[in-house]
Structure 1
Amino acid sequence: MSQIETILTLIAQKHLGIETLETRRSDSLDFHDTAVWCIKDALEAAFRAGVEQGRNASQSDKANT
């Protein structure tokens, strides 16, 4: 699993109560009723994770120059 997949899975588990983001070919496992505030929290967490990834990449680039 890639780093981004791991991060997204952790966000889905924490904020949406979704065990996995893998397709399981079952409506009861692949479709979820989710409150809008949970979706908002998950989107904010994903955004923050992206910002952090960008900062880390920027610092890595500066260290390599």
Structure 2
Amino acid sequence: MTKRQRALLAAIAREHLNIETLETRKSDSLDFHDCAVWCIESALQAAFEAGREAERKQHKKG
């Protein structure tokens, strides 16, 4: 995974799941989160749309 992709996933996690970082911090209270299903759905939709947009941009270049 590229740095840009990691940054995008981290931004989605912050925005949709209220997760500060996706880095492992070796602490249960920091590494495990309770998330509402609608927040998870929203994050998955954002990731899916980001993938669609990346594919669309790649296809235009091709």
Short-chain TM bin? over 0.9
In the TM superposition, 1:1-65 aligns within 5 A as: 2-61=3-62
Question: Which is higher, the Rg of structure 1 or of structure 2?
Answer: 1
Percent same amino acid at aligned positions? Answer: 56
How many residue pairs get aligned? The number is 61
Aligned-pair RMSD on alpha carbons?
0.9
CA shift digits 1:28-61 (9 cap, x unpaired): 0000000000000000000000000000111111
For 1:20 and 1:30, the matched residues in 2 are separated by: 9
TM-score of the pair, normalised by structure 2: 0.94
**Structure 1 residue runs without a partner (length 5+):** none
Which amino acid in structure 1 is aligned with residue 23 of structure 2?
E
Separation in 2 of the partners of 1:12 and 1:56? 23
**Helix, strand or coil at the partner of 2:16:** helix
Q: Which runs of structure 1 show a deviation greater than 2 angstroms over 4 or more consecutive aligned residues? A: none
Question: 2:33 aligns to what SS in structure 1?
Answer: coil
